[in-house]
Structure 1
């Protein structure tokens, strides 16, 4: 009995330490993320059918049918990122139930991103960030990034690194409650 209690205490301590390290790393990686979306210029994007567009977030929402009052999942990724590839199925599944817009950072021009999406069979709307400028404006030095973009431009629940599907859905649910 004593041995079982000791093992449980050690396990609980290990979980608490691991959680503290994880939360500390997330806080460090998102320390420069602003409270609100920072890019006021025009965006360029590609849609799953190959249609290209440019304009503001409002224009993007209108062209893709995303309600102006809906929070949307923002997934920042790159073609060269192996962790991003591991999340592809999760993002695609999420996009079936929630509005999702992705940001292809440091991944090339529209033709390159469009070819990548087609090759991988990804039905994503991808905002283009060929030089990484948009990601840098938000303090994102690594990919993938997951954030909830509220209709008022507030960025909520930002994480850097692999995020589980349940974690993404929980963040979207929570953002809709606040």
Structure 2
């Protein structure tokens, strides 16, 4: 009888084990995302204003009417470097306002942008005050703001171009 019980245990479907493992992975990913975004604002987007690298004054209010990606990043961040092509491509079709967090002077960030072929709008956050106001504790951090100034989606860490485009598209429908 002992042999028969052992044999039944080995014949259990493997799909159950796979389903449990996949479920655990999703649970961990969801829990980490919830932990990382715990201090980030929800609802109405906080004020955001300053001068772009080129010197023009800008405010989040200037982007009203269409969804906008507010993207916090840093020149020293390897994940941000991996993601910058996604942001550049999304900026061709959607409004993007990026914030370079503790990345050096305006000249240093401008040089970084030129060297990497990046041309989306950048606010400089040398002191980190904008990041604190938005609850950003890590980079990259992305906020999708709808046409009415409401935060619809947020993410910390690498986000695919398709993921950003989909969230921006959804924000256009949600407002």
The alignment partner of 1:128 has SS state of strand
2:30 to 2, 9, 23: 23
Q: Does 1:10 align with 2:6?
A: no
- For residues 113-164 of structure 1, give each alpha carbon's deviation from its aligned partner in whole angstroms, at most 9, with x where no partner exists: 1111011111111111111111111111100011112233222210001111
The alignment partner of 2:135 has SS state of coil
Give the match for residue 124 of structure 2. 128
Give the match for residue 33 of structure 1. 40
CA RMSD of aligned residues (A): 2.0
- For residues 71-125 of structure 1, give each alpha carbon's deviation from its aligned partner in whole angstroms, at most 9, with x where no partner exists: 1112110010000000011111111221111111111222221111011111111
Cα distance in structure 1, aligned partners of 2:172 and 2:98: 19
Q: Does 1:76 align with 2:79?
A: no
From the superposition, tell whether residues 115 and 174 of structure 1 become closer, same or farther in structure 2 (CA, over 3 Å). Answer: same
Identify unmatched segments of 5+ residues in structure 2.
Answer: 1-8
Which of 10-19 and 86-95 deviates more?
A: 10-19
Q: Does 1:172 align with 2:168?
A: yes
The alignment partner of 1:52 has SS state of coil
1:160 to 156, 163, 166: 156
How many equivalent pairs are there? 165
Q: Which runs of 4+ in 1 moved over 6 A?
A: 2-5
From the superposition, tell whether residues 43 and 7 of structure 1 become closer, same or farther in structure 2 (CA, over 3 Å). Answer: same
2:59 to 56, 63, 68: 56
Identify unmatched segments of 5+ residues in structure 1.
Answer: 62-67
Contact 1:44 1:53 in 2 (8 A): yes
Cα distance in structure 1, aligned partners of 2:97 and 2:122: 6
Contact 2:47 2:60 in 1 (8 A): no
Q: Does 1:43 align with 2:50?
A: yes
| Cα offset, 1:4, TM superposition | 9.2
Give the match for residue 99 of structure 1. 95
